[in-house]
Structure 1
Amino acid sequence: MQPKQQSLDGSLVVTMPQVRTTDGHFIEWNKEAIVNQLLKETVLCEKYYGITAITREEAQNIAKDVEKSILKMNLSVLSGPLIREIVNIKLLESGHPEWRKISTRVGTPVFDACEIDLGNGFEVNENANLQCNAETAHKKKADKISKEQYLLLFPQEITDMHLKGDIHIHDLEYFGTRPFCQDWDLRYFFYYGLMPDGNGTKASVAGPAMKAEVAILHAVKALGSAQTNFAGGQGFYNFLTFLAPYLEGKEYKEIEQLMQMFIYEMTQMMVARGGQLVFSSVQLSPGIPSIWKDIPAVYMGKVWNGLDSPLKRTYGEFEREVRLSFKALMNVMLQGDYWGKPFSFPKPEISIEPDFMQEDTLFNKTHPELPTYEELYTTAFELASKFGTPYFDNQLPEYRRSKGGISCYQCCAYQFSVNEEDDNEFEEKVLFKEGKHFSMGSWQVVSLNCPRAAYKANGNDNLLIAILKKQMDDAVKIFNIKKNWMNQVITAGRMPFITQRPKDPNTNKKGSIAVDLNALVYTIGVIGINEMVQVQCGCQLHESHIAMKLAIRVMTEMEMYAKELSVKHGMTIALARTPAETTCQRFAVSDLLNESYRKDAIRVIKGDIDTALRQRNMTRDLPVYYTNGTHVPPGANISIIDRIKAEHTFFPIVDGGNILHIWLGESSPDAKGLKEFAMNIAKNTQVGYFAFTKDLTICRNDSHVMPGLHNTCENCGSNNVEHLSRVTGYIQAVSGWNAAKKQELKDRQRYDPEHLRNKNTKSPEKKPSLQIQT
Structure 2
Amino acid sequence: MDSMAEEIEKKVKNTDISGVPEDTTTSSNIVEKTSESSPRQQTLDGSFVSIMPKVRTTDGHMVEWDRNIVVNQLLKETSLSERFHGIPAVTRDEALVIAKETEKRIRSMNLRFLSGPLIREVVNMVLIERNDVEWRNISTRVGTPVYDACEIDMGTGFEAKENANLQENAETSHKKKADKISKEQYLLLLPPKLSDLHLNGDLHIHDLEYMGTRAFCQDWDLRYFFYYGLMPDGSGAKASVAGPAMKAEVAVLHAVKALGSAQTNFAGGQGFYNFLTFLAPFLEGKSYKEIEQLMQMFVYEMTQMMVARGGQLVFSSVQLSPGVPKLWRDKPAVYRGRVWDGSDGSDVRVYGEYEREVRLGFQALMNVMLEGDYWGKPFNFPKPEISIEPDFMEEDEMFNRAHPELPTYDDLYNLTFELTAKFGTPYFDNQLPPYRGAGEGISCYQCCAYQFSANAEDDDEFEEKLNFTDGKHFSMGSWQVVSLNCPRAAYEAQGDDKELFARLKGLMDRAIEVFHTKLKWMTPIIESGRMPFATQQPKDPVTGKKGAVAVDMDSLVFTIGVVGINEMVQYHTGSQMHESKEAFKVAVRAMTEMEMHARKISEEHGIEIALARTPAETTCQRFGVSDLLHDEYREKAASVLKGDVESSVSRLKETHDLPVYYTNGTHAPPGADLSLMERINVEHVFFPIVDGGNIMHIWLGEGSPDAKGLKDFTMHLARNTQTGYFAFTKDMTVCMNDFHMMSGLQDCCENCNSDNVEHLSRVTGYIQSVGGWNAAKKQELADRMRYGSPDMR
- Letter in structure 2 aligned against 1:350: I
How far is the alpha carbon of 1:307 from its aligned partner?
1.4
The residue that corresponds to 1:514 in the other structure is 550
What SS class does the counterpart of residue 604 from structure 1 fall into?
coil
- The alignment status of 1:313 with 2:349, answered yes or no, reads yes
1:246-325 to 2 correspondences below 5 Å: 246-308=282-344, 310-325=346-361
- The alignment status of 1:724 with 2:760, answered yes or no, reads yes
How far is the alpha carbon of 1:78 from its aligned partner?
2.9
Give distance in 2, aligned partners of 1:3 and 1:97: 30
Give distance in 1, aligned partners of 2:376 and 2:465: 41
**8 Å Cα contact 1:681-1:687 kept in structure 2:** yes
How far is the alpha carbon of 1:4 from its aligned partner?
13
1:368-767 to 2 correspondences below 5 Å: 368-401=404-437, 404-753=440-789, 756-757=790-791, 759-760=792-793
User: TM-score under structure 1 normalisation?
Assistant: 0.95
How far is the alpha carbon of 1:12 from its aligned partner?
2.5
Q: 1:68 to 1:742 in 2, by over 3 A?
A: same
Q: 1:402 to 1:268 in 2, by over 3 A?
A: closer
Choose which of 103, 117, 126 in structure 1 pairs with 2:153. 117
Give distance in 1, aligned partners of 2:345 and 2:303: 36
Give distance in 1, aligned partners of 2:134 and 2:706: 64
**8 Å Cα contact 1:303-1:309 kept in structure 2:** no
How far is the alpha carbon of 1:323 from its aligned partner?
0.4
Give distance in 1, aligned partners of 2:702 and 2:503: 43
Q: 1:205 to 1:547 in 2, by over 3 A?
A: same
What SS class does the counterpart of residue 483 from structure 2 fall into?
strand
Give distance in 2, aligned partners of 1:527 and 1:270: 31
The alignment-based identity, stated in percent, is 70
- Letter in structure 2 aligned against 1:697: T
**8 Å Cα contact 1:3-1:76 kept in structure 2:** no
What SS class does the counterpart of residue 583 from structure 2 fall into?
helix
Unaligned residue ranges in structure 2 (runs of 5+) = 1-16, 33-40, 42-50
* Range with greater deviation from structure 2 (487-496 or 277-286): 487-496
Q: Which digits, 9 at most, give the CA deviation of each residue in 1:539-576, with x for residues without a partner?
A: 11111111111111111111111001111100110100
- Letter in structure 2 aligned against 1:340: G
How far is the alpha carbon of 1:47 from its aligned partner?
1.7
**8 Å Cα contact 2:295-2:368 kept in structure 1:** yes
Choose which of 15, 21, 31 in structure 2 pairs with 1:12. 31
User: TM-score under structure 2 normalisation?
Assistant: 0.93
- Letter in structure 2 aligned against 1:368: P
How far is the alpha carbon of 1:240 from its aligned partner?
0.2
Q: 1:420 to 1:68 in 2, by over 3 A?
A: same
Q: 1:440 to 1:394 in 2, by over 3 A?
A: same
Unaligned residue ranges in structure 1 (runs of 5+) = 761-774
1:55-94 to 2 correspondences below 5 Å: 55-94=91-130
**8 Å Cα contact 1:302-1:309 kept in structure 2:** no
Give distance in 2, aligned partners of 1:65 and 1:3: 16
The residue that corresponds to 1:166 in the other structure is 202
What SS class does the counterpart of residue 649 from structure 1 fall into?
helix
**8 Å Cα contact 1:4-1:12 kept in structure 2:** no
The residue that corresponds to 1:336 in the other structure is 372
Q: Which digits, 9 at most, give the CA deviation of each residue in 1:83-104, with x for residues without a partner?
A: 2112112222333222111100
The residue that corresponds to 2:280 in the other structure is 244
**8 Å Cα contact 1:195-1:203 kept in structure 2:** yes
Q: What is the aligned residue count?
A: 756
Give distance in 2, aligned partners of 1:354 and 1:257: 30
Choose which of 108, 111, 131 in structure 1 pairs with 2:167. 131
What SS class does the counterpart of residue 183 from structure 2 fall into?
helix
**8 Å Cα contact 1:397-1:685 kept in structure 2:** yes
**8 Å Cα contact 1:234-1:411 kept in structure 2:** yes
Give distance in 2, aligned partners of 1:447 and 1:4: 51
Give distance in 1, aligned partners of 2:323 and 2:184: 49
What SS class does the counterpart of residue 513 from structure 2 fall into?
helix
Q: Please provide the CA RMSD for this pair.
A: 1.8
How far is the alpha carbon of 1:76 from its aligned partner?
4.7
**8 Å Cα contact 1:695-1:708 kept in structure 2:** yes
- Letter in structure 1 aligned against 2:177: K
What SS class does the counterpart of residue 639 from structure 2 fall into?
helix
Q: Which digits, 9 at most, give the CA deviation of each residue in 1:366-416, with x for residues without a partner?
A: 000000000000001100110000000000000001563011111100111
- The alignment status of 1:151 with 2:210, answered yes or no, reads no
How far is the alpha carbon of 1:682 from its aligned partner?
0.5
Q: 1:62 to 1:307 in 2, by over 3 A?
A: same
What SS class does the counterpart of residue 765 from structure 2 fall into?
coil
- Letter in structure 2 aligned against 1:677: F
Q: 1:606 to 1:487 in 2, by over 3 A?
A: same
- Letter in structure 2 aligned against 1:248: E
Give distance in 2, aligned partners of 1:204 and 1:28: 50
CA radius of gyration, larger in: 2
Give distance in 2, aligned partners of 1:58 and 1:644: 64
How far is the alpha carbon of 1:712 from its aligned partner?
0.5
Give distance in 1, aligned partners of 2:58 and 2:265: 29
- Letter in structure 1 aligned against 2:329: K
Give distance in 2, aligned partners of 1:423 and 1:291: 16
How far is the alpha carbon of 1:603 from its aligned partner?
1.4
What SS class does the counterpart of residue 474 from structure 1 fall into?
helix
**8 Å Cα contact 1:3-1:17 kept in structure 2:** no
Give distance in 2, aligned partners of 1:61 and 1:600: 48
Q: 1:177 to 1:3 in 2, by over 3 A?
A: closer
Q: Which digits, 9 at most, give the CA deviation of each residue in 1:64-85, with x for residues without a partner?
A: 2333333444545432212211
The residue that corresponds to 2:10 in the other structure is none
**8 Å Cα contact 2:432-2:438 kept in structure 1:** no
**8 Å Cα contact 2:638-2:645 kept in structure 1:** yes
What SS class does the counterpart of residue 178 from structure 1 fall into?
coil
**8 Å Cα contact 1:385-1:671 kept in structure 2:** yes
What SS class does the counterpart of residue 351 from structure 1 fall into?
strand
What SS class does the counterpart of residue 574 from structure 1 fall into?
strand
- Letter in structure 2 aligned against 1:160: D
Choose which of 63, 86, 109 in structure 2 pairs with 1:50. 86
**8 Å Cα contact 2:203-2:507 kept in structure 1:** yes
**8 Å Cα contact 2:56-2:115 kept in structure 1:** yes
What SS class does the counterpart of residue 697 from structure 2 fall into?
strand
- Letter in structure 2 aligned against 1:232: G
How far is the alpha carbon of 1:241 from its aligned partner?
0.3
Give distance in 2, aligned partners of 1:610 and 1:96: 42
- Letter in structure 2 aligned against 1:618: E
The residue that corresponds to 1:196 in the other structure is 232
Q: Which digits, 9 at most, give the CA deviation of each residue in 1:429-478, with x for residues without a partner?
A: 00000000000000010111111111111111111111111111111111
